[in-house]
Amino acid sequence: MSNQIAQDYVGEINESLRGLVAQYKDRDPADLYLRPEPEEWSVIEILAHVAEFPPYWLKAFLQVIQNPGQPFGRTHTDPQRIAAVANHAQDALPLTLERIEQAQAQTIEMLLTIKNEDWGKTGVHPNRGVMNLHQMMEFFVTKHIHDHTHQADKALQTVLTLRAK
């Protein structure tokens, strides 16, 4: 198969995002809109970010494949990244979860166009420097999903603890 590597990533993304959606679909929304600390994201803000970043990064990776060695990506201060969270911070939970499912489908569709021979291609990230497609995928998508899943869990536990006091 010419894209077995992509297929492996598809499995990981499907498992992670399906699990995230299942984890929050029956939660009391009242708990998801509260910030654990004023400077920290609420669960819904974290979920809004998860709905936004996988397709963003896959589009960036496809550009790297077309133009190896060129700059790619964004940093935490990117206005579009910040706006994507702010603009969806009050969306209804079902809409947010639907956006995650749509992002999952869009991400996988793009991912499956990547051939095995493309994974060694590199781009230059503004903060992380030269990265190959494997490194990009793991840092900006798979690990990023896992990190935000844990962040959401921690935020929810903090909110529940504060509400119980």
Q: Do the domain assignments include residue 164?
A: no
- Domain of 61: which CATH number? 1.20.120.450
Q: What is the pLDDT, as a whole number, of residue 122?
A: 98
Q: Do the domain assignments include residue 165?
A: no
Q: What is the pLDDT, as a whole number, of residue 103?
A: 97
Q: Hey, what are 163's tokens?
A: 């509400």
CB neighbours of 3 closer than 8 A, spacing ≥ 6? 112, 113, 114, 115, 116
- Give the domain range for residue 44: 4-159
Q: Do the domain assignments include residue 46?
A: yes
Q: What is the pLDDT, as a whole number, of residue 58?
A: 97
Number of independent structural domains in the chain? 1
Q: What is the pLDDT, as a whole number, of residue 164?
A: 84
| Positive or negative torsion for Cα 160, 43, 77, 50 | positive
Residues 75, 80: Cα–Cα separation, whole Å = 10
Any idea what the Cα angle at residue 143 is, between residues 30 and 63, rounded to 5°? 110
pLDDT of the chain, 165 residues: tens digit per residue: 578 999 999 999 999 999 999 999 999 999 999 999 999 999 999 999 999 999 999 999 999 999 999 999 999 999 989 999 999 999 999 999 999 999 999 999 999 999 999 999 999 999 999 999 999 999 999 999 999 999 999 999 999 998 887
Q: Do the domain assignments include residue 23?
A: yes
Q: Do the domain assignments include residue 109?
A: yes
